[in-house]
Chains A and B, each alone.
Chain A
Amino acid sequence: GQNIDQPTEMTATEGAIVQINCTYQTSGFNGLFWYQQHAGEAPTFLSYNVLDGLEEKGRFSSFLSRSKGYSYLLLKELQMKDSASYLCAVGNNNDMRFGAGTRLTVKP
Protein backbone atom coordinates (compact mmCIF):
# COMPACT_ATOMS: atom_id res chain seq x y z
CA GLY A 1 0.00 0.00 0.00
CA GLN A 2 0.91 3.64 0.04
CA ASN A 3 1.24 6.08 2.92
CA ILE A 4 1.99 9.75 2.38
CA ASP A 5 2.40 12.07 5.37
CA GLN A 6 2.76 15.84 5.55
CA PRO A 7 1.96 18.41 8.23
CA THR A 8 -1.63 19.61 8.31
CA GLU A 9 -0.95 23.31 8.78
CA MET A 10 1.96 25.75 8.79
CA THR A 11 2.25 29.50 9.29
CA ALA A 12 5.05 31.76 8.09
CA THR A 13 5.79 35.44 7.68
CA GLU A 14 5.91 37.36 4.43
CA GLY A 15 9.47 37.49 3.09
CA ALA A 16 10.60 34.46 5.08
CA ILE A 17 11.49 30.90 4.02
CA VAL A 18 9.34 27.86 4.78
CA GLN A 19 10.01 24.15 4.28
CA ILE A 20 7.13 21.71 3.91
CA ASN A 21 8.10 18.08 4.52
CA CYS A 22 6.61 14.94 3.05
CA THR A 23 7.38 11.32 3.89
CA TYR A 24 6.08 8.41 1.89
CA GLN A 25 6.00 4.66 1.60
CA THR A 26 5.15 3.23 -1.78
CA SER A 27 5.84 0.49 -4.31
CA GLY A 28 6.82 1.09 -7.91
CA PHE A 29 8.06 4.63 -7.28
CA ASN A 30 7.97 6.82 -10.36
CA GLY A 31 8.46 10.32 -9.03
CA LEU A 32 7.43 12.75 -6.34
CA PHE A 33 5.20 15.68 -7.25
CA TRP A 34 4.22 18.87 -5.49
CA TYR A 35 1.01 20.72 -6.28
CA GLN A 36 -0.36 24.04 -5.07
CA GLN A 37 -4.07 24.48 -4.45
CA HIS A 38 -5.64 27.82 -3.59
CA ALA A 39 -8.98 27.72 -1.83
CA GLY A 40 -11.79 26.96 -4.27
CA GLU A 41 -9.42 26.28 -7.14
CA ALA A 42 -7.87 23.29 -8.88
CA PRO A 43 -4.47 21.95 -7.84
CA THR A 44 -1.68 23.16 -10.11
CA PHE A 45 1.59 21.36 -10.74
CA LEU A 46 4.66 22.87 -9.07
CA SER A 47 7.53 20.40 -9.26
CA TYR A 48 8.64 16.88 -10.02
CA ASN A 49 11.58 14.90 -8.61
CA VAL A 50 12.49 11.42 -9.73
CA LEU A 51 16.21 11.43 -8.84
CA ASP A 52 17.75 12.33 -5.49
CA GLY A 53 18.67 15.93 -4.98
CA LEU A 54 17.36 19.44 -5.25
CA GLU A 55 15.36 20.90 -8.12
CA GLU A 56 15.13 24.69 -8.16
CA LYS A 57 12.48 26.67 -9.96
CA GLY A 58 12.48 30.34 -9.08
CA ARG A 59 11.37 30.90 -5.49
CA PHE A 60 10.36 27.25 -5.13
CA SER A 61 12.71 24.28 -4.71
CA SER A 62 11.96 20.63 -4.13
CA PHE A 63 14.21 17.96 -2.67
CA LEU A 64 14.02 14.19 -2.82
CA SER A 65 15.74 11.35 -0.97
CA ARG A 66 14.46 8.04 -2.30
CA SER A 67 16.33 5.94 0.24
CA LYS A 68 14.64 7.84 3.08
CA GLY A 69 11.24 8.16 1.42
CA TYR A 70 11.44 11.89 2.05
CA SER A 71 10.84 15.09 0.16
CA TYR A 72 10.47 18.74 0.98
CA LEU A 73 9.21 21.82 -0.77
CA LEU A 74 11.11 25.01 0.01
CA LEU A 75 9.46 28.36 -0.57
CA LYS A 76 11.66 31.46 -0.41
CA GLU A 77 10.78 35.14 -0.18
CA LEU A 78 7.25 34.28 0.81
CA GLN A 79 4.44 36.37 -0.59
CA MET A 80 0.87 36.67 0.61
CA LYS A 81 -0.30 34.92 -2.55
CA ASP A 82 1.64 31.81 -1.46
CA SER A 83 -1.08 31.15 1.12
CA ALA A 84 -2.52 27.88 -0.18
CA SER A 85 -2.54 24.15 0.36
CA TYR A 86 0.51 22.25 -0.85
CA LEU A 87 -0.08 18.66 -1.89
CA CYS A 88 2.62 16.02 -1.96
CA ALA A 89 1.91 13.22 -4.42
CA VAL A 90 3.73 10.02 -5.30
CA GLY A 91 3.60 8.53 -8.77
CA ASN A 92 3.93 4.83 -9.36
CA ASN A 93 3.66 2.77 -12.51
CA ASN A 94 -0.09 3.11 -12.65
CA ASP A 95 -1.28 6.33 -11.08
CA MET A 96 -0.66 9.08 -8.55
CA ARG A 97 -1.57 9.13 -4.85
CA PHE A 98 -1.79 12.24 -2.72
CA GLY A 99 -1.11 13.29 0.84
CA ALA A 100 -3.78 15.23 2.70
CA GLY A 101 -2.04 18.52 1.96
CA THR A 102 -0.39 21.22 4.08
CA ARG A 103 -2.33 24.44 4.51
CA LEU A 104 0.19 27.30 4.51
CA THR A 105 -0.82 30.70 5.86
CA VAL A 106 1.48 33.62 5.11
CA LYS A 107 1.11 36.55 7.52
CA PRO A 108 2.28 40.14 7.00
Chain B
Amino acid sequence: ETGVTQTPRHLVMGMTNKKSLKCEQHLGHNAMYWYKQSAKKPLELMFVYSLEERVENNSVPSRFSPECPNSSHLFLHLHTLQPEDSALYLCASSQDRGRGSPLHFGNGTRLTVT
Protein backbone atom coordinates (compact mmCIF):
# COMPACT_ATOMS: atom_id res chain seq x y z
CA GLU B 1 0.00 0.00 0.00
CA THR B 2 1.18 3.52 -0.73
CA GLY B 3 1.95 5.78 2.23
CA VAL B 4 -0.92 8.25 1.91
CA THR B 5 -4.06 7.37 0.00
CA GLN B 6 -6.76 9.81 -1.04
CA THR B 7 -10.17 9.13 -2.51
CA PRO B 8 -11.75 10.02 -4.80
CA ARG B 9 -9.14 11.14 -7.33
CA HIS B 10 -11.65 13.30 -9.16
CA LEU B 11 -14.91 14.86 -7.98
CA VAL B 12 -17.45 17.03 -9.76
CA MET B 13 -20.16 18.51 -7.60
CA GLY B 14 -22.84 21.14 -7.80
CA MET B 15 -23.00 24.03 -5.40
CA THR B 16 -25.84 22.46 -3.42
CA ASN B 17 -24.23 19.02 -3.02
CA LYS B 18 -22.60 17.52 0.04
CA LYS B 19 -19.57 15.32 -0.44
CA SER B 20 -16.57 14.11 1.56
CA LEU B 21 -12.92 13.62 0.72
CA LYS B 22 -11.09 10.80 2.44
CA CYS B 23 -7.44 10.40 3.35
CA GLU B 24 -5.68 7.46 4.95
CA GLN B 25 -2.03 7.19 5.96
CA HIS B 26 -0.16 3.95 6.60
CA LEU B 27 3.04 5.49 7.90
CA GLY B 28 2.33 5.67 11.60
CA HIS B 29 2.56 9.45 11.55
CA ASN B 30 1.16 11.70 14.25
CA ALA B 31 0.17 14.73 12.19
CA MET B 32 -2.16 15.08 9.21
CA TYR B 33 -2.90 18.07 7.00
CA TRP B 34 -5.26 19.36 4.33
CA TYR B 35 -3.78 21.65 1.68
CA LYS B 36 -5.47 23.37 -1.24
CA GLN B 37 -3.54 23.77 -4.49
CA SER B 38 -4.82 26.23 -7.08
CA ALA B 39 -3.10 26.97 -10.37
CA LYS B 40 -0.06 29.24 -10.06
CA LYS B 41 -0.62 29.76 -6.32
CA PRO B 42 1.29 28.39 -3.33
CA LEU B 43 -0.08 25.41 -1.54
CA GLU B 44 -2.51 26.80 1.03
CA LEU B 45 -2.61 25.13 4.42
CA MET B 46 -6.21 24.55 5.48
CA PHE B 47 -6.19 22.34 8.55
CA VAL B 48 -3.68 20.57 10.78
CA TYR B 49 -4.36 17.69 13.12
CA SER B 50 -1.81 16.50 15.62
CA LEU B 51 -2.58 13.32 17.54
CA GLU B 52 -6.18 13.62 16.34
CA GLU B 53 -6.60 17.11 17.75
CA ARG B 54 -7.19 20.02 15.40
CA VAL B 55 -4.41 22.48 16.08
CA GLU B 56 -4.81 24.95 13.25
CA ASN B 57 -7.61 26.33 11.14
CA ASN B 58 -6.41 28.98 8.72
CA SER B 59 -9.58 31.01 8.42
CA VAL B 60 -11.09 28.42 6.14
CA PRO B 61 -14.76 29.01 5.27
CA SER B 62 -17.20 26.90 7.25
CA ARG B 63 -18.35 25.15 4.07
CA PHE B 64 -15.18 23.05 4.59
CA SER B 65 -15.39 20.84 7.68
CA PRO B 66 -12.56 18.48 8.66
CA GLU B 67 -12.83 15.34 10.71
CA CYS B 68 -10.08 13.17 12.15
CA PRO B 69 -11.57 10.06 13.79
CA ASN B 70 -8.15 8.49 14.47
CA SER B 71 -4.50 9.10 13.68
CA SER B 72 -4.69 7.23 10.38
CA HIS B 73 -7.77 8.81 8.84
CA LEU B 74 -8.72 12.32 7.83
CA PHE B 75 -11.84 13.58 6.11
CA LEU B 76 -12.83 16.86 4.53
CA HIS B 77 -16.59 17.36 4.40
CA LEU B 78 -17.81 19.73 1.70
CA HIS B 79 -21.15 21.50 1.44
CA THR B 80 -22.57 24.44 -0.52
CA LEU B 81 -19.25 25.06 -2.24
CA GLN B 82 -18.54 27.89 -4.67
CA PRO B 83 -16.94 27.61 -8.14
CA GLU B 84 -13.78 29.27 -6.78
CA ASP B 85 -13.34 26.26 -4.52
CA SER B 86 -12.41 24.20 -7.58
CA ALA B 87 -8.82 23.07 -6.96
CA LEU B 88 -6.59 20.12 -6.11
CA TYR B 89 -7.02 19.12 -2.47
CA LEU B 90 -3.98 17.41 -1.03
CA CYS B 91 -3.76 15.43 2.16
CA ALA B 92 -0.39 15.00 3.83
CA SER B 93 1.06 13.44 6.95
CA SER B 94 4.27 13.87 8.91
CA GLN B 95 5.91 12.11 11.81
CA ASP B 96 5.38 15.12 14.06
CA ARG B 97 3.91 18.55 13.64
CA GLY B 98 6.75 20.94 12.88
CA ARG B 99 10.22 19.92 14.13
CA GLY B 100 11.53 19.51 10.61
CA SER B 101 9.40 16.51 9.70
CA PRO B 102 8.92 16.27 5.93
CA LEU B 103 5.41 15.92 4.57
CA HIS B 104 4.24 12.85 2.72
CA PHE B 105 1.45 13.71 0.31
CA GLY B 106 -1.38 11.75 -1.19
CA ASN B 107 -2.14 12.08 -4.91
CA GLY B 108 -4.91 14.56 -4.23
CA THR B 109 -8.53 14.97 -5.18
CA ARG B 110 -9.21 17.17 -8.21
CA LEU B 111 -12.41 18.98 -7.28
CA THR B 112 -14.59 20.81 -9.79
CA VAL B 113 -17.56 22.81 -8.51
CA THR B 114 -20.18 23.55 -11.15
Contact = CB atoms under 8 A, between A and B. Distances in A.
B98 A97 contact: no
Contact of B100 (A50, A87, A94, A97): A50
B48 interface: yes
B81 interface: no
B interface majority secondary structure: loop
Nearest to A88: B42
Interface string A18-57: 0000000000001101010000011111001010000000
Interface of B: 4, 33, 35, 40-43, 45, 48, 55-56, 90, 97-108
B50 to A, nearest CB: 9
Interface of A: 4, 8, 30-31, 33, 35, 41-45, 48, 50, 87, 89, 91-101
B106 A91 contact: no
Contacts of B43: 43, 87, 89, 98
A45 B45 contact: no
A101 B42 contact: yes
Contacts of A41: 107
Contacts of A100: 40-42
Given A45-B104, A94-B56, A30 B42 contact: no
Given A96-B45, A97-B42, A100-B42, A91 B98 contact: yes
Contacts of B90: 42-43
B107 A94 contact: no
Nearest to B102: A45
Given A94-B98, A99-B42, 16 more contacts: A4-B42, A8-B40, A30-B100, A31-B100, A42-B106, A42-B108, A43-B105, A45-B102, A50-B100, A91-B101, A93-B99, A94-B97, A95-B98, A96-B45, A97-B45, A98-B42
Contacts of B108: 42
Given A43-B105, A45-B103, A45-B104, A95 B42 contact: no
A94 B56 CA distance: 9
Contacts of A45: 102-104
